[in-house]
Structures are given as structure tokens and as C-alpha cells.
Amino acid sequence: MKNNNRISRISAILTLLSKGNGLSTPRLVDRFEISKKIIQTDFKEYILPLFSDSKIYYDYSSKTYCAKNNFLTKTLFSADELAVISILKAKSKDKHSDSDLFEKTDMLFHMFEEQLSNHIYQKSSVERIDEFKDEIIQIKNAIESKNIIKCLYTGKNREVYPLKILNLEGYWYLIIYEPKDEKIKTFHLNTIKVTEILDETYIYNTDIVDSFDNAITAYFKPENEPIMVQLLLDKKVSRFFKRKALSTTQRIIKEYDDASMEIEFIITDFMEIIPTIQRYMPYIQVIEPIELKLEVKMNIEKYLKSSEFLA
């Protein structure tokens, strides 16, 4: 596999090293079909200087390059991102660069990693995940390398394919495929406890994974037939749906002079949109499908009946 692209080559090497593999120069020469000199340059000028704490080192006894096992799970950067950083750091030492550029670049790298460690995804309206940083890093890197993971979720040991991390309505979820029952599922991210990242990798349909970009809530069901929904929005709420679309499939059908409007979008399950409809009532009405309109009506009647009982 001839590889003249330094970024992808360094990324592949970092991934192999993180799995605990000792890498000899002859082995890498054969793997990438490049010269011994290029491999030596990759390590001397790019990979070895990447970390100041010797996460990656040369073992003279075995004549192999080694690294602390699973070191990628201890950084918030992916192998690809670290490859780019290694090249930027090397370029900053160029004789034509400013004399203190390397020092400042190195400082920026460490400061950025530290800030990410302390403040990752901290927003008042978004579920905090910084207390689960180790699991997040492990999962993120498992997704990047397509490694199967063992985890504990809802009191059960599971072996799953980690596919995608999503934020839906302010909560963080991991989309997984569980081979045991051949189902794709949505796990609450902060409830997952990663026990092991396996060496075994997986292959999964990327179209199914990408379809989650259209999800509105965790009720998204990619295996279901898509359902087209049309809503009429009163002027009091229409601006909210203009500012932030419900999903990537949303489009405005018609705008009226009083600022109300009709929109349409695709869902896979009524529960994806019912909570939103009920949240904005009475300023939102279902046009289509009729089945959704009836289900919302049933919810209202059930609520009114229970309210009468409590009164």
C-alpha cells in the first residue's frame, strides 16, 4: 500500500502504536511501500516530538517504535488531528519561521488540549459531559478507528459498534449497532461505562449512520419508512422555526402576510415531533398526516381527563 501522503501515513502509524504494536522500520517500509529514510523522518521530525512526556519512544532492545498502550484514548484529538498537529509543529521549526514560533505553537497545542479537557461542550442549555471525559474520549476514538467496544449500559454488559455521537434536544447520545439482536439503538452517552476497546473492527452502512443527521429526537428510527409532516405555525412561534430548523429536511412551504407559515419535514416516528407540537400549542397545528393529528388530539383529551380527576 504505497502511501505518499504524510498526514494519512502518520495517522495510520499513530493508530497502530496506540494498539500496543511495536513497529520496526522494515515493517513500515513494507507496509507503506516507501523508503527507510522517509519512515525515519516521519518519526524523528514529526511523531516523536509530538508529545513531551515520551508517550511514543524507540525501544533499542527490540529495535521498534513503541507507545503507551491506548495513548489515543488519553487525548481529545483523533489520530488524523494529531497527524496534522505534528506537521504544524514541525513546520514551525523551519529556518524561515519566526524564532519563537515553535515554542508558541507547542504551548498552544497543550493549552488547547487542557481547555478541551476542562470545558468540553459546556453550555447552559446542553447536558454537561466533562465528568465523563474518559468515556467520551474512548468512544470518540473507537468511532474514528471503527473498533468494537465492550460497555456496561443499564446494568447489562454489551458488545456494540459505536457509530455516532449526537446531541438531541440538549442531551448527548451514542448511536450504536448491537450485533446480538441486529438492532441499531440510541444510548444515553453519560450512562455508558466503557470497559474495553477491542482490537476487532467493524464495517457498517455509512448511509444509515449519516441518516441520523436528520434526527429530531432520540425517537429517530432509521429502519422505519419516512413520514412527511406538514405544520401550520402561528406568527407567535414561526420565527423560532426560521431561526433553527427542526431538522435538515425542513423546508418552508408557504409564508403568509401575518408572518404565519407552513413547513414540512420528514420524521421516522410520531414521537419525534409530538413533544414539540405539544410544547408550542395552541400556536401550532398539524396539517398532515391525519394520523399524527389524531394522536395529538388523543393526548390532549387524555390530559384534560386526568386534569379533571386531579381537580
What is the structure's pLDDT at 299? Answer: 93
pLDDT classification of 178: cutoffs 50, 70, 90: very high
**Whole-Å CA distances, 163 to 98, 106, 114, 143, 298:** 42, 32, 26, 6, 36
**Whose CA is closest to 172, among 139, 207, 221?**
139
Q: What is the pTM of this model?
A: 0.54
Chain segment 94-145, per-residue pLDDT in tens? 666 666 666 666 666 655 555 444 444 444 456 666 666 677 778 888 888 8
pLDDT given at position 200: 92
287, 248 in Cβ contact below 8 A? no
Query: Which 3 state secondary structure label does DSSP give 172?
Result: strand
Helix (H, G, I), strand (E, B) or coil at 269: coil
State the chain's mean pLDDT as an integer.
Answer: 83
Is 260:233 a contact under the CB 8 Å cutoff? yes
| Predicted pLDDT at 27 | 92
Q: Which domains does the chain have, with CATH numbers?
A: 6-115 (1.10.10), 130-204 (2.30.30.150), 227-310 (3.30.70)
